[in-house]
Amino acid sequence: MSEQYKMLGDKSRLTILASLKVRELCVYDLVDILGISQPGVSQHLRKLKAAGLVTETRKGQWVYYSLTLEDKPHIKAALEFAPSMQQQVEQLKNDCCQ
């Protein structure tokens, strides 16, 4: 359980999770949002996947990530309190990942 909270204990990962709460996103969407390198984002996503918090779906050349929190009420609850990323997600460049 602390392993999952550890995932929230990093600003970038908390932002990733809050963003995925709005909708599923591909890696470059998250690069735009976070302002860190693409491999950096991929590393975080790998950890989140290992912790069982996200899942990936390839769609063409893009890989979309989304939350898998059905069986994790504590993480779900925690994310309720995270600042909304609605705005930032809506303002993503439309020419990415479509």
DSSP output for 3-69: HHHHHHTSHHHHHHHHHHHHS-EEHHHHHHHH-S-HHHHHHHHHHHHHTTSEEEEEETTEEEEEE--
Paired tokens of 93: 């460049």
Residue 93's binding partner, choosing from DNA, a second copy, none, with beta-carbon cut-off 5 to 8 A by kind?
none
Residue 56's binding partner, choosing from a second copy, DNA, none, with beta-carbon cut-off 5 to 8 A by kind?
DNA
* Interface ranges with DNA (CB under 7 A): 6, 9-12, 26-28, 36-40, 42-47, 56, 58, 60-64, 96-97
Contact residues: a second copy, CB under 8 A: 1-3, 5-11, 13-14, 73-74, 77-78, 80-83
